[in-house]
Structure 1
């Protein structure tokens, strides 16, 4: 089985219009949400996810989101921080996932919308569920989706083949 976590970066700051999009930091609200999501992951039913690999955009806000999660693990998982994930479309993200080594069972991808939302909806079974409906309504900053695939090969991960098992938004959680 393959497990994919899709985490949209936390809320970024728009305090300074002269900062390029790629360099925007987290806002104070985003920093609080990062702590809230880390606490959720630490205490979630099923335990703290143990990704074999973390894929992350090079944007300041995604790297800061990742930094907020790193204390969850005694030893940080293998990480690839690559500009290809910055504002990537769902097809680009899916292509990268299908190329992953099969030894990786659980992957956390930290990125941006609309790519993450589109990817979650593309990969999840088309069956209408409450989780799918929530994603269709909005995939807000800090949202985390978990998809499970009944395969041992990342190359088999494709449209409609995933089970959408979890969708969590920081605003729905108690503050850390």
Structure 2
């Protein structure tokens, strides 16, 4: 059994005057949401054997704030392929995960993450599935389980959605808005 958890970066500032999209930082609401997600991960006693993340500034800051909420450092493998990656690129990266890792966390961007969840989705709690199909907001976690022994075996339509947590599910002041 393998568990793939996907985390979309937290809300970034759209009015920041940065030269590149890659360099956009989080806004205050995003920082608060990322810390709430970190606390949730800690409360649920969730941990990961392997973490891969986009090196974009908003992802780096998301990881820092999730770690603050979690109470422990998070040290991902930085992979430039995750920056604005397509669902197929995300699939390629996931399939490269070492077979001995049971719990993978990937941290990146939409629309790729949302497309990836929908590609992998084969079932799960109907309420979670409906929420995932409706929208994948910033700082949201989706977790899917796969009945495989090796990450190379994950396939479209083979994942069971076991978790879909939006920041607003943890703190109503964190959503919804135009993310």
- Give the TM-score taking structure 2 as reference length: 0.89
Mapped pair 1:169 → 2:154: no
Mapped pair 1:117 → 2:114: yes
Most deviating of 132-141 and 65-74: 65-74
Change (3 A) 1:35 1:77: closer
Most deviating of 32-41 and 84-93: 32-41
Structure 2 distance, partners of 1:127, 1:73, is 30
The superposition leaves residues 103-161 of structure 1 with CA deviations (integer Å, 9 ceiling, x where unpaired) of 11111100000110011111110578221211121101011001011111101101011
**Contact 2:24-2:58 within 8 A present in 1 as well:** yes
Mapped pair 1:21 → 2:21: yes
**SS across alignment from 1:133:** helix
**Contact 2:36-2:167 within 8 A present in 1 as well:** yes
For structure 2, the 5+ residue unaligned runs are 175-179
Aligned residue number for residue 39 of structure 2 = 39
Mapped pair 1:56 → 2:76: no
Most deviating of 121-130 and 77-86: 121-130
Match of 2:101 among 104, 108, 121: 104
RMSD, matched Cα: 1.9
1:77 Cα deviation after fit: 5.8
Structure 1 distance, partners of 2:113, 2:8, is 7
Aligned residue number for residue 6 of structure 1 = 6
1:73 Cα deviation after fit: 6.1
The superposition leaves residues 56-78 of structure 1 with CA deviations (integer Å, 9 ceiling, x where unpaired) of 0011001111112235365x565
**Contact 2:5-2:144 within 8 A present in 1 as well:** yes
**SS across alignment from 2:55:** coil
**Contact 2:123-2:160 within 8 A present in 1 as well:** no
Structure 2 distance, partners of 1:36, 1:94, is 27
Aligned residue number for residue 177 of structure 2 = none
- Give the TM-score taking structure 1 as reference length: 0.90
**SS across alignment from 2:36:** helix
Aligned residue number for residue 143 of structure 2 = 146
* Number of aligned residue pairs: 172
